[in-house]
Chain A
Amino acid sequence: MPGTPHIEVSNLTMAYGDFVVQHDLNFVVQKGDIFIIMGGNGCGKTTLMRALVGLQKPAAGTVYYEGEDFWNVSANDQERLKRRFGVMFQGGALWSSLSLAENVALPLHEYTCLAQARIDEIVSFKLALVGLAGFEDFYPAELSGGMRKRAGLARAMALDPDILVVDEPSSGLDPLNARHLDDLIVELRDGLGTTIVVVTHELASILSIGSNSIYLDAETHTMIATGNPQQAAQTGDAKVRHFLSRGEL
């Protein structure tokens, strides 16, 4: 159902104590979007992501998931909403005492009634999707940073969430793996209809996969542009064009 507002952010202000990171953010993520949150280092991309996924209460404003006000519903409803999104953290955030297979299987054990053998098949498939076929029995400490990151994506996808929020998916990956991950994000959207929110500053990813975006500015502490990143690169705000051309425009 492309065109249905899926996530609506309304007057959102994020702050640490008195320090306002970002204020008055307003944007809509449509179902089936690959929505890019971009901006320079330290502009508050990850802080915004934490508000979107329910980890950090905004100082003001709120986030609506299909009309439900996430920050003003009961704790039970919050839990129900949270189950609709999967989150991939920057460093993977894998549970170090569990093997990769156990990391991906845990949400399946908790929230589905699938038999162990089915779960094993699904886990192997998800690991294969992120290019980690055969690594089921490895522990996070035995993997490289890029592999941990990809395993983190496999875990975020475990329950086939409606919304997948990924923080810096391709930073720290080699170009082939970064490309593979970008392709995977597009295929997940096309195949499963997943709405994907990507927090990134990787130009190649932004321009090749993004269908919509916002740009967070570190100086004015608010968003200064929204729209398709390729259009933004051509005709957007001067700061955004500067950013998207690596400072050449």
Chain B
Amino acid sequence: MIGTQTSDAYASDLQGWQLEKQLKGDQGLEIILAGRWCLDQALPSWEVLKTELGRNDLRHLYFRADHLAAWDTGLLAFLSGVLKFSAGHDIAVDCNGLPAGVQHLLNMASAGPEQNIDARRQSKAGMFSRIGVATIDFCRGFPEMLHFLGEVTLSMGRLLTGRAQFRRSDFWLEVEEVGPRALVIVTVISFLVGLILAYLGADQLRLVGAQIFIADLVAIGMVREVGALMTGIIIAGRTGAAFAAQLGTMQVNEEIDAFRTLGISAIDFLVLPRILALVLMVPLLTLYAAFVGMTAGLLVSYFIFDIGFFEYYTETLRALEIKHFMVGLSKGGVYGAMVAYAGCLRGMHCGRSAEAVGEAATSAVVTGILLITIMASLMTIIFYRLGI
């Protein structure tokens, strides 16, 4: 092969890049670059040179770039691939034929300060391993929930003994946020639910000619069950998600770590006022929702089913007993606690990214509604057994 020179070209159009290869001397190869090597066009991979570079007797690589019109990192990425391959195959590279800027930037890319990376590239996991990981994560969630419950209980203990550190003003701010500011949505939803209950009852009770009992159905239904349930679900979507997002963002900003380093319990300071605010306000909202629902029942009965105003009123009074209110209020309190617990749990265990905050908020709502439903069933059974 001594003295022979072959030339080959992969050239695109005139505006584009040009690449030629030329044998040089005994064991050398010269790569000739010309034209525009810029990102605004389709550039070749360095692998178009793989056959030549892979030759066993190749020991030296040279470049020539006399007719290189323009270049950017498109060229650099191409050359970087060539250099990496050469380094791995014992080929000495002479970069002097390249523009000075190209040489400097290539040097910079290979000379960054050392990084100690534990090359833990995340491989794409298969379906089964992903299901496995998800299951393990799910199961790990339970001890986490219990641990948080324990922390909250201890914090409650500190509150009762007067040693919990939190600002009363925070508590009242939360009260305002979860109570009065939720009134509009609670009004709309409980009114519509009361209306649905009245229609549902009217339809069934007409069969036995006992439409007056719409009042009983709406009153007992709203006060005992539906008022608390609807309020709980509204609060889970509105306030539970807000708690998770607030605490999650604080976690991202290291605000919670700042509490820890000062020896202030983040649970006392952040979680306690939120839980207390919800436990106080949700029963009140429940009561309010029940009244709005009963009003809707009254309007439907009066205007649509021709039941007298006072008839409906007396029937409602007759149906309602104090125990129904106790049941409704206690459910409201428990649901409020569940929503606050779920929101604070997810917020405090949030990861450190925007995505994690979103996940925490979603999870807070899902967990909140799940806990509400579980508690609703449990309490219904218990109250039934107790005859309340």
Contact = CB atoms under 8 A, between A and B. Distances in A.
Interface string A165-188: 000000000001100100110011
A132 B101 contact: no
B248 to A, nearest CB: 12
A134 B77 contact: no
Contact of A141 (B73, B115, B352): B352
B53 to A, nearest CB: 15
A73 B109 CA distance: 38
A184 B110 CA distance: 12
Which of B40, B72, B110 is the most central at the interface, judged by chain A CB atoms within 10 Å of its CB? B72
Which of A96, A97, A121, A134 is the most central at the interface, judged by chain B CB atoms within 10 Å of its CB? A121
B125 to A, nearest CB: 13
B120 to A, nearest CB: 8
B156 to A, nearest CB: 33
A130 B111 CA distance: 10
A187 B42 contact: no
Interface string B353-369: 11110000000000000
B251 to A, nearest CB: 11
Nearest to A191: B101
Contacts of A118: 42-43, 45, 74, 77
Contacts of B46: 121
B387 interface: no
A103 B355 CA distance: 14
B101 A192 contact: yes
A128 B73 CA distance: 12
Given A141-B351, A160-B72, A114 B39 contact: yes
B115 A135 contact: yes
A63 interface: no
B41 A113 contact: yes
Contact of B105 (A115, A129, A139, A180): A129
A114 B43 contact: yes
A113 B76 CA distance: 17
B72 A117 contact: no
B108 interface: yes
B122 interface: yes
Q: Which bucket holds chain A's interface residue count?
A: 35 or more
Interface in B70-106: 72-74, 76-78, 80-81, 99-102, 104-105
Contacts of A134: 115, 117, 119
Interface string B116-129: 01010110000000
Contact of A129 (B45, B112, B122): B112
B113 A131 contact: yes
A125 B77 contact: yes
Contacts of B81: 121
Contacts of B41: 113
B174 to A, nearest CB: 28
Given A128-B110, A133-B115, 19 more contacts: A96-B356, A112-B40, A113-B42, A114-B42, A121-B77, A121-B78, A121-B80, A121-B81, A124-B80, A125-B77, A128-B112, A141-B351, A141-B356, A177-B113, A187-B104, A191-B102, A191-B105, A192-B101, A192-B105
Interface of B: 38-43, 45-46, 72-74, 76-78, 80-81, 99-102, 104-105, 108-110, 112-113, 115, 117, 119, 121-122, 351-356
- The 10 A-B residue pairs with the shortest CB-CB distance in the complex, in nearest-first order: A191-B101, A131-B112, A96-B353, A128-B109, A160-B72, A141-B353, A125-B77, A122-B77, A121-B77, A97-B355
6 contacts: A96-B353, A122-B39, A139-B353, A180-B112, A191-B104, A192-B73
